[in-house]
């Protein structure tokens, strides 16, 4: 068993009267790729957002790289992180959003650079060197000076991936990265993600792309109503699901 990079224990999250996460426990080993599947509203996004503390868990513990997320210290002595501490923690956790959220007022290259200059304190020149390399890596060497609104959805999402990778995070979280894309643009984004996975990045991917999950994931987790219904290798989960709920979901989505 690989050492756990992400450790989620008995995580609960409620929004008002809505129970978004209802006791989720899960570990992700270093270099492991876990795809989280499930119907809309099943809690996939909330789970990912709790891992980098964009959502504050109602109860339960999340750790990344052996450090508790959002808190300093252990057990009863734990106190909530302050702004600066939270920011430093988030810099180690890359996140890619469904709607990209590129910053529209700066070029693609500057989007990739900004974390390096603002958070890591690199000079513009040094940051640009790294950012250019990443832009080539995601296949956008010719779009460095393009503004986000002049890029296609697939290109935007690849810039967003490069932006997250620039921070050299320990893990990458992908929150339905292809759900907002035209079907013909999905492939280019999945291809970049597959490449990142092959380089050994620890990844959690909330997705509806079953082909990608089967091909790339080490493990697939099926969620419904804020709980993990079952998890297993892609072959186990897709070909021999144990739970009736999983079977019904797969029938619907694969037909």
Partner 1 sequence: MNIDFSTALPYIPVLIKAAGFTILLTLTSQFFGTVLGFFLALGRMSRFGGLRWAVWLYVWVFRGTPMLLHLFFIYYAAPLFGLTLDAIPAAIIAMSLSSCAYNCEIIRSGLQAVHHGQVEAARAVGMTYPRIVRRIVLPQAVRIIIPPYMSNFITHTKNSSLASVVTVPEIMLTAQTIANSTYRVIEILTLAGVLYLFLTSCLTWLQLWMEKRTAYEQRTLTLRRRRQLGLEPA
Binds partner 1 by CB under 8 A, chosen from 83, 121, 244, 254: 83
Torsion angle, alpha carbons of 215, 217, 221, 226, to 10: -110
- Residue 205, sorted as left (phi over 0), alpha (psi -120 to 50) or beta, turns out to be beta
Nearest Cα neighbor of 93 from 72, 70, 113, 124 is 70
Residues 6+ apart with CB under 8 A from 219: 32, 33, 34, 35, 231, 232, 233, 234
* CB of 106 or CB of 185, closer to partner 1: 106
Position of tokens 């380089």? 199
Window of 117-125, 151-159, 208-216, 240-248 that interacts with partner 1 by CB under 8 A = 117-125
User: What does each C-alpha distance from 222 to 73, 81, 176 come to in angstroms?
Assistant: 32, 31, 14
* CB of 131 or CB of 210, closer to partner 1: 131
The answer to whether residue 198 forms part of the interface with partner 1 (CB under 8 A) is: no
Q: How many Cβ atoms from other residues are within 10 Å of residue 182's Cβ? A: 10
Binding to partner 1, residues 221-250 (CB under 8 A) = none
Binding to partner 1, residues 123-162 (CB under 8 A) = 124-125, 128-129, 132, 144-145, 147, 149, 160
To partner 1, the closest distance from the beta carbon of 129 in angstroms equals: 6
Please give the residue ranges that form the binding site for partner 1 (CB under 8 A).
Answer: 52, 54, 83-84, 87-95, 97, 99, 101-107, 109-110, 113-115, 118-119, 124-125, 128-129, 132, 144-145, 147, 149, 160, 163-164, 167
């Amino acid at each position: 068993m690989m050492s756990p990079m992400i450790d989620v224990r008995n995580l609960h999250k409620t929004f008002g009267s809505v129970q978004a996460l209802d006791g989720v426990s899960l570990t992700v080993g270093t270099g492991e790729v876990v795809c989280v599947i499930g119907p809309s509203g099943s809690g996939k996004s909330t789970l990912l957002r709790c891992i980098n503390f964009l959502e504050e868990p109602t109860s339960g513990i999340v750790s990344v790289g052996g450090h508790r997320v959002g808190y300093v210290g252990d057990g009863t002595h734990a106190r909530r992180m302050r702004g600066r501490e939270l920011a430093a923690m988030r810099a180690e956790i890359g996140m890619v959003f469904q709607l990209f959220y590129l910053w529209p007022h700066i070029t693609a290259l500057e989007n990739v650079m900004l974390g390096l200059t603002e958070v890591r304190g690199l000079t513009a020149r040094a940051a640009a060197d790294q950012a250019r390399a990443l832009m080539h890596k995601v296949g956008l060497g010719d779009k460095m000076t393009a503004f986000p609104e002049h890029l296609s959805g697939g290109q935007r999402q690849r810039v967003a991936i490069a932006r997250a990778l620039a921070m050299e995070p320990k893990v990458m979280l992908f929150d339905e990265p292809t759900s907002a894309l035209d079907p013909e643009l999905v492939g280019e984004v999945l291809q970049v993600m597959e490449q990142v996975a092959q380089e050994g990045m620890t990844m959690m991917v909330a997705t509806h792309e079953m082909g990608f999950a089967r091909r790339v994931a080490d493990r697939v987790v099926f969620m419904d109503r804020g709980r993990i219904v079952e998890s297993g290798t892609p072959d186990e989960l897709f070909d021999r699901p144990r739970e009736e709920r999983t079977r019904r979901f797969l029938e619907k989505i694969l037909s």
